[in-house]
Chain A
Amino acid sequence: MNYVATIGEREVKVTVEEIGGSNYKVTLDGRDHVVDAHRVANRLWSVLYGVASFEVDVTPVPGDEFEVLINGDCHKFSLMNEQRRAMIRAGGKGAAGKAMVTSPMPGKVVKLLVKEGEEVQAGDGVIVVEAMKMENELKSALAGKVKEIFVKEGEVVESGAKLLLVE
């Protein structure tokens, strides 16, 4: 299977082929490697890269993004198979002009700093969400009008919950 990883501006092609046991033949930018990868817990892998042994924590983030942790280093990139990438490209989504503010963590809405219809600037604090005794002010990614507010003060929200929409 062919995958494309995007790291910043850089693109890397990765091909994965199962060759028996827990071994994979992996091609990275045209170079072949044999990798022995064991899933030892939900998102935790024990990887023998040649004979070099690594523990790798792979966390998928919505939007085909990944955060991969190896001994304190967090690698962030997007990765998807070639077909999926082609499909997304063909879809040509352009969501410019709209920004959904979502909760980055489970918590409680402490305060709404704006009302529907209010004008905001990019970087303006729009809502305060509290988790674990810390108040976190979330900001609007762009300038515009507050189109809709989906939550009330005091409401408990999940991670990723839609809070409000700026247009």
Chain B
Amino acid sequence: MFEKILIANRGEIAVRVLRACKEMGIPTVAVFSEVDRRALHTRYADEAYCIGPPPARESYLVIDKIIGVAKASGAQAIHPGYGFLAENPLFADRCEREKIKLIGPSAYAMRTMGSKTLARKTVRAAGVPVVPGTVDPIASEEEVFRVAKEIGFPVMLKATAGGGGKGLRLVREEAELRSSLRMAKSEAKSAFSDDSVYIEKYIENPRHVEIQILGDQHGNYVHLCERECSIQRRHQKVIEESPSVIITPEIRAAMGKVAIEAARAVKYEGAGTCEFLVDRKRNFYFLEMNTRLQVEHPVTEMVTGVDIVKEQIRVAAGEPLGIRQEDVKQTGHAIECRVYAEDPEKNFIPCPGTVTSLRIPGGPGVRDDSGMYTGFEIPIYYDPIISKLVAWGRDRTEAIARMKRALAEYVVTGVKTTIPFHIRVMNNRHFIAGDFDTNFIDKVFFKEEETRELRNEEVALVTAAIQVYAEERNRAVAQRPGEAAGPVSMWKYSTRPGIRKIG
């Protein structure tokens, strides 16, 4: 086993990996940018190294710096988390040259699956069903027009190096094609430093279902069943669950088998995910393979009992998989809500700032993977995800009920979060019925929300009036001679009689 692991990431996912290392008794090394000195991952790790200015391009994405820290600290392995360098084959190459084990698949597997077009070619050859479209990046504008007409509108333009909903454009008609191509390329360029895009037929109203796989260095593979990820906003997953209500044991077995074939085709090692689109008739098409740990891995952990991060570390150290396919069982139901520092009342604009108070939900069946604490300043430089709340129940009904009450317990003040949005989704009748597809949030949910009646308006008005009253009174007190004006301490808000008199 490794004697020391470097975690080349930040925020909640760095904390998640640190937790696995600690439980395994492996010393840890964190890296942090100048704004992350006070971040939780910096504080949790056994050692921490500053790797430069806040922009990721000057810190978390600089391969030389990460390798430098690995050498200086004597780390034998690097866990990349997700995002940043996690799917960068140049980083994998470099680790190999430096004889540092990257916890993840080979550079070859990353390269093949990371190029979405090459991935399509490879898995199609292994017998995996794929969505119609180009297999190579688009060479010219003329080609886009030709292929789009061939496969028929609507089509999807996708960044070859893409992920996370960036560099993605849906095009419904020919007139939009030119400008959409330009935007997809420019987004791809700024997000991935690679502006190549490819084109695919757009499957109307699909569900997004993915299969978690694990592979070791000895040719063993298992799949850990599916995750349903159809609750998306602007093509980005926001709520995931396992099992999926539409997947039967037969389809699960078929998808699992195909996912393992895709993995085997690139001699995949570690944890990976095959994403599929599932149409109304439950045909499934390979979308892409993510060659890393997924944001939503906890739902799988909750229903299978497998600690995916620990498995990643074990197989990276050369051990065989600790689980056989026949041992894999989904027990109960798990749901994850991604909590973002975004304002759901203002079209989900990012809302960085300082967390002024925080109450993490607890109780049976609840898990919170977060990287924040009271007083933490959420930086403007990185992804706005601040926590993942996961609820487990014996069945979907109990999981939803638990998630609802856990969300109600969750308090974050100082920054706006998507918690209120999640509460409303959990109360939505379509969501409860399991009746949704990847367009549900953008097309159905928000429309229904517009006409929804708010509850407890009286309480809202009264509390706001009391707050204004309290603040006016505090100002009046502060302006009295003999009392220093300035920031009002929390003690001042307390109104216990006898402690202070109201003037």
Contacts and interface: CB of A to CB of B under 8 A. Distances in A.
A12 B459 CA distance: 13
Contacts of B190: 135
Interface in B440-475: 454-470, 472
Interface of B: 166, 187, 190-191, 341, 344-346, 349-353, 356-357, 380-384, 407-408, 411, 413-414, 416, 419-424, 427, 454-470, 472, 490, 493-497, 502
Identify the interface centre among B166, B346, B457, B459: most chain A CB within 10 Å of its CB: B459
Contact of B357 (A41, A59, A131): A41
Contact of A132 (B344, B380, B456): B380
11 contacts: A28-B458, A39-B470, A41-B356, A41-B357, A49-B458, A54-B459, A70-B460, A72-B423, A75-B456, A134-B384, A159-B353
Contacts of B458: 28, 33, 49
Nearest to A71: B408
Contact of A106 (B187, B344, B353, B411): B353
8 pairs of A and B residues whose beta carbons are closest in the complex: A72-B423, A41-B357, A75-B460, A68-B460, A132-B350, A131-B350, A132-B384, A56-B463
A79 interface: yes
B465 A16 contact: yes
A39 B458 CA distance: 18
A160 interface: no
B427 A1 contact: no
Nearest to B461: A5
Contacts of A136: 349-350
A67 interface: yes
Given A44-B411, A55-B411, A136-B349, A73 B455 contact: yes
Nearest to B466: A37
Interface of A: 1, 3, 5, 7, 12, 14, 16, 18, 20-22, 24, 26, 28, 33, 35, 37, 39, 41-45, 47, 49, 52, 54-60, 66-77, 79-81, 104-108, 131-136, 156, 159
Given A5-B465, A49-B462, A132-B341, A72 B407 contact: yes
A41 B358 CA distance: 9
A71 B494 CA distance: 24
Identify the interface centre among B190, B421, B427, B461: most chain A CB within 10 Å of its CB: B461
Contact of A14 (B420, B423, B462): B462
B386 to A, nearest CB: 10
Contact of B352 (A22, A59, A66, A106): A106
A82 to B, nearest CB: 12
Contacts of A79: 461, 464-465, 468
Given A26-B462, A73-B456, A74-B420, A43 B467 contact: yes
A131 B352 contact: yes
Contact of A42 (B357, B456, B462, B502): B357
B461 A105 contact: no
Contacts of B464: 5, 58, 66, 68, 77, 79
B456 A134 contact: no
Contacts of A134: 350, 384
Identify the interface centre among B383, B411, B465, B490: most chain A CB within 10 Å of its CB: B465
Nearest to B344: A74
A57 B358 CA distance: 12
Contact of A58 (B341, B346, B467): B467
Given A1-B472, A69-B420, A47 B352 contact: no
Given A1-B469, A76-B345, A136-B349, A58 B461 contact: no
A67 B166 CA distance: 31
A106 B35 CA distance: 15
A59 B408 CA distance: 18
A1 B469 CA distance: 7
Identify the interface centre among B187, B346, B349, B357: most chain A CB within 10 Å of its CB: B349
Contacts of B423: 71-72
B457 A7 contact: yes
Given A55-B411, A71-B423, A104-B346, A45 B352 contact: no
B502 A18 contact: yes
B468 A80 contact: yes
Nearest to A21: B497
B357 A73 contact: no
Given A35-B462, A41-B413, A131-B350, A70 B456 contact: yes
